[in-house]
Amino acid sequence: MRVEYINPFVEAAYNVLTEVLNTEVKRGNLFLKAATKSVMGVAAIVGLAGEVEGRVLFDMSKQTAIKIASVMNMEELTELDELAKATISELANMITAQAVTKLHELGFKFDLTPPALITGENMEVSDQEVEALIVPMETPHGSIEINVAVRERS
């Protein structure tokens, strides 16, 4: 993945998460993945287009998703209902949008698609032709992995 794209995603994730969760968030070590990867239980996907083609995936466990949705809505949610799902989709949208704005300032024109939320057990994600960059973020509610897989549009 082009190095110029990395920081906007890392910074956007950090900024948005610390702001909406109102707490300290820690970033783990970045790494690259090219094979099938397990998804923790809840995956929010935002497509990317424009100068690049690919997607960003926000990966977390169901518990983490419920807790984060609770904090963001300022009410105690007990299950991953429609409100919680909409909240997580919105979180994915906010982070991606901020990253895309930063990229725009750097001169890279990215477009994004509306987010899709996928939930289930024993899910896996694989990208046949694109390498994925994983940015692990640790929050008090659990970990969120930001999985960015983009390639230059040739």
Partner 1 sequence: MSTFNAEQLFRGQKENDKLKKIDFKLISFTLAGRDYGINILKVKEIRKAGNFTMVPNTPPYVKGVDNLRGDIIPVIDLRIMFNLPAETKDASNLENIIILRLDSLVLGIIVDTIEKVVGIASEAIQPPHPIFGDINIKYIQGVVENDSRLYIILDVDRIFGVAEEAEVHPAPLAASESVETIETDEEKAELVPTPNGSLDLQFISENLATFNQFHVSPLNIQWTKNRLGAWKDLRKSKNLDFQFTQKEDGEEFLLPFFSPLTGGLWTEEQLVDLAKVLKLEGNNLVIWNPGCGQGYESYSLALMMETQFKASTYKVWANDLDLLSISMAPSLILDEDELDLSWKRFTVQTKNGLQFHSDIKNKIMFEFHDIKHMNPFTQIHLVVMRDVLSFQRSNDQEKILGEITEKVKTGGYLVVGANEVVEHEEWKFIGHEPWSIYQKI
- Alpha-carbon span 56 to 1, nearest angstrom: 13
Residue pair 121/43 in contact by the 8 Å Cβ criterion = no
Span from 44-52, 75-83, 90-98, 126-134 in contact with partner 1 (CB under 8 A): 126-134
Going 12 to 83 to 150 to 133, the CA torsion angle's sign is positive
Q: Does 7 bind partner 1 (CB under 8 A)?
A: yes
Q: Which is nearer to partner 1, 90 or 131 (CB)?
A: 131
Find the binder of partner 1 among 94, 131, 136, 143 (CB under 8 A).
131
Residue 69 or 150: the one with the smaller Cβ distance to partner 1 is: 150
Q: Is 129 in the site for partner 1 (CB under 8 A)?
A: yes
Rounded Cα gap, residues 67 and 79, in angstroms = 9
- Pick the binder of partner 1 from 60, 117, 133, 149 (CB under 8 A): 133
Three-state SS at 154: coil
CB of 49 within 8 A of CB of 113?
yes
Q: How far is the CB of 91 from partner 1 (least distance, A)?
A: 25
Told to check if 111 binds partner 1 by CB under 8 A, we report no
Of 34, 11, 33, give the one whose Cα is nearest residue 128.
34
The window from 40-48, 62-70, 94-102, 129-137 that contacts partner 1 (CB under 8 A) reads 129-137
The single residue among 26, 32, 83, 126 that binds partner 1, judged by CB under 8 A, is 32
**Amino acid identity, residue 148?**
V
Q: Which residues contact 11 (CB under 8 A, 6 or more apart)?
A: 99, 102
Binding site for partner 1 (CB under 8 A): 1-4, 6-7, 30, 32, 34, 129, 131, 133, 151-152
